[in-house]
Every structure is written in structure tokens, then in C-alpha cells.
Structure 1
């Protein structure tokens, strides 16, 4: 369970990216975060694994106060949370399986990590992760020979290989064509249902959010203006999320 309790995030320049956020996400939910650029979607996502620190309130994951974690405890905590980015973050000049195996580097000794020596169990786990996202046949192909959608699937497989409880995805389909974006969103949906992994995903494509996620959180100017089932999102709610900023300016 992820719990935001009166969470705010203010940057040194005074900009308040998050304003009094109260949000509870249960294990196994698939939540899409929507809103205008600059609304606070990425900031909200990145506070969960401490890529950004909150400035007020409390944030707990499975009862652990995230802000109290330091050193090895913080690194161990982050091992339970997968992170997927728009840009894939792959080493494109090496093979796909090597990219997936990189999720295991923090668990290796210095010598094994230096020379890329992985236990057989890790290699089998990597192949299984690639199979789950439908690209097992690409395991020994260089990553730069794959399409954008295939590269994002490699990134997803790499995350699955670390056996996460939570996956955070920051605009994972923004650079993909519409057909491929739907395929990748389908992967997220299937993994969420089959593996009961909590998925939080911020996304500009509202139609995909409504089609694949079970719950939608709408953010405007750092504050939550909608939180509920994707099936109950109306045109009026979308106007509140996306046109509210314009109305504020006009007012």
C-alpha cells in the first residue's frame, strides 16, 4: 500500500509542484495519472522511490516511512520498485538479455559485476521476463536493432527481472506510434492482472489511460482534482483536469 498524507513538494526556487496530496493506492492496482504538462505527474511518481524528496507531509509504502530511509535501507527499498522511462534507458550496443540482467547488478559481488558474470538462475529469470513481454526470440539480438516498442518491452522485462512489488512508469508510451503504444499498455495491463504488481503510470494519452487502467488520478497545478474509476471519467471531469488552468488564468 502507498499512502500520501498531506504531501507537498516545493523546489528551492519556490515552485510548489505538489500541494497537499492525499492518496492511497492498494497493492495490485493499475493507476494512470493524467494532467497537463507541468501539473506534477512526474513529481508525484518520483516521490514514491525517493527520486524526489517531499517537503511536507508523510509518504509511506507498506508502512515504511520513505523519508526515513538512508543508505543500504534506501537501496533495498528501491529494489522493490521498478522504474520505466520514456527513453527506455537501455545500453543499445549490447544484447537484449544483457540489458535485462543489469537489473541484477546490485545483488552481485564487485568481481561478478565488473566482468558481467551472472548466476544461471539470473539468466533463466531474465529469459522468463522476456517471455512474459513476448520478445524471448530477441534475447540475443543487440538492443539497437529493435523497434521502439520492442525496446520498451526490454525495459519492462528488466524491471520484471528484479521481482518488484511496484512499477512506476514515467510516460512509457510517449515516443511510440499509436499501435505500438496500445501493445505496450496491454503488456502493463496483463502483468498487473497476472502478477498482482501495483502499477502507477503517468501518461498524456487520455484515451489509453481510460482504456487500460482501472483507476485514474487527475492532477492540475499540483493538486488532485479527480480520483476514481477509469470507467467513471466524464467529459466534464476531463475539462476540470485540462481546462481548469485556463479558467484560473481567465478568472
Structure 2
């Protein structure tokens, strides 16, 4: 479980990114975070794996207090249970898809084994299984730079699955993809969430995809949570509270999309 209790975040430049955030996220939930750029979406998920430190309040993740005392070996151990997916995929383009997925095991290996790439048979089976789950096994021995954007994001997700996380954090995971590919990738996130009971927390630019794939939506405006509830209960009036304006075509939202949920 993830628990925010009166959490605030102020950056060194004085920007108050989050204000008195209190919420619980249960294991196995699929949560979409929506809001304008700069509202605090990325800050919220990056606090969960301690990419950023909280300024005030308490943050508990999987029974661990994520505070200033969490460092070194304990921090590395803590982060093994949390996968992170970025918009930019973060793959090593000049090596194979399989080796990219195997990189998830580096944290479990000693320095010498990592240097020579001495992965175990179990590591390789685990990596190939992750690729198979996402329907991209046939690309295992292709170089990553030969893949499409959607395939790259699937490889990034497979690498995260191979890490055996309890939580996956996704920072705008489909923002750079075309709508058809973005829907395919989001369906993969939903499959991982449902079949493996992995908590998925994703920042979403497009509201329609947040409503379609997430069970729960958290809306942030100027560092404050203004909506937290089922995606099925989201209305245009609630979205105006989140965005502070009428949504545009770029947000890809229609009344029909809301009614279909």
C-alpha cells in the first residue's frame, strides 16, 4: 500500500509542487493522474520511489517510511520493488531487446557478473517470459533501434516486469505515441495490472485514455488534489475543476467518451 499523509513538496527554487496531499493507494489498483503541465503530477509519482524527497508530511510505501533516512543499500533494495517507465523509453538502442530486458536484473548481480554480462539461465527465461507476455517475443534478438515507438515502450514495460515489482510508475508513458499505438500500449499496462496484480500509477496527458484504462482518477490542480475517485464518476464539471478551463480537442475528450465509461 502507498500512503500519503499531509505530504508537501517545495523545490529549492521555492516552487511549491504539492500541498498537503493525503491519499491511500491499495495494491493492485490502476490509478491515472491528470492535470495541467506543472500541476504536480510528475512530482507525486517521483516521490513514491524517492527520485525526489518530500518536504513535509509522511509517505509510506510497502511498509517503508520514505524519508531522509532511506539511503544507500536500503534505498536500492526499496527501489527494486518499484518499476519506472518514462515517455522516452530509456533503452540501450545499440544492443538487443533481450539484453535491454535483462538489465532489470543488474541490481541483483555482483559487480563482476554485471561487467561480463553473466546472466543466469533463470534470468534469461524470466526476460523471455516478460517479452512473451507483451507479445513481442519475436523481437528478442533484434536491436532496440530497429523497433517502432510502441514496440520500444513494450520492451520498457517487459524490462520492468522482469524486475518483479509490486508497483509500476509511468510518467506520460504514451505521450509520444500515435493514438492507435498509445491504446495498444495502455492495454498492455492494463493487462499487467490485472494479470499480475501490480499497482500501476500513470500520469496521463490524454483524458480519454485515463478514463478508459484506469479504475481510479486523481486530478491535481496547482499542487492540490481536487478530484479522487472512480473513473466512471468523472464528469465535464469535475474536469473543469482539474484543468481550470474548458478542454480542447488536444485533450481528446468528448461527452460520449465519458458516458461510455
TM-score, length basis structure 1: 0.96
How many aligned positions are there?
Answer: 245
Aligned-pair CA distance for 1:81: 0.1
Aligned-pair CA distance for 1:112: 1.1
Which string of whole-angstrom CA distances, capped at 9 and with x for unpartnered residues, describes residues 85-135 of structure 1?
Answer: 000000001000000000111111211100111000000000000011110
Aligned-pair CA distance for 1:18: 0.3
Confirm or deny that 1:183 pairs with 2:188: no
2:259 matched residue in structure 1 = none
2:32 matched residue in structure 1 = 32
CA RMSD in angstroms, aligned pairs only = 1.0
Contact 1:84 1:167 in 2 (8 A): yes
Aligned-pair CA distance for 1:63: 2.1
Confirm or deny that 1:227 pairs with 2:228: yes
Aligned equivalents of 2:7 and 2:39: distance in 1?
Answer: 15
Confirm or deny that 1:18 pairs with 2:15: no
Mark the runs of 5 or more structure 1 residues left unpaired by the alignment.
Answer: 246-251
Contact 1:220 1:244 in 2 (8 A): no
Contact 1:101 1:126 in 2 (8 A): yes
Which string of whole-angstrom CA distances, capped at 9 and with x for unpartnered residues, describes residues 37-88 of structure 1?
Answer: 0000000000000000000000001221011312111100000000000000
Which string of whole-angstrom CA distances, capped at 9 and with x for unpartnered residues, describes residues 2-39 of structure 1?
Answer: 00000000011111000000010000000000000000
Aligned equivalents of 1:109 and 1:37: distance in 2?
Answer: 40
Aligned equivalents of 1:46 and 1:194: distance in 2?
Answer: 25
Aligned equivalents of 1:109 and 1:8: distance in 2?
Answer: 37
Aligned equivalents of 2:156 and 2:97: distance in 1?
Answer: 9
Aligned equivalents of 1:137 and 1:244: distance in 2?
Answer: 45
Alignment partner of 1:103: what SS? helix
- Following TM superposition, the consecutive aligned residue runs of length 4 or more in structure 1 with deviations greater than 2 angstroms are none
Alignment partner of 2:244: what SS? helix
2:125 matched residue in structure 1 = 124
Alignment partner of 1:47: what SS? helix
Alignment partner of 1:211: what SS? helix
2:242 matched residue in structure 1 = 241
Confirm or deny that 1:50 pairs with 2:50: yes
Q: Which of 153-162 and 104-113 deviates more?
A: 104-113
Confirm or deny that 1:156 pairs with 2:160: no
Aligned equivalents of 1:57 and 1:135: distance in 2?
Answer: 42
Aligned equivalents of 1:49 and 1:155: distance in 2?
Answer: 17
Alignment partner of 1:112: what SS? helix
TM-score, length basis structure 2: 0.93
Aligned-pair CA distance for 1:244: 6.1
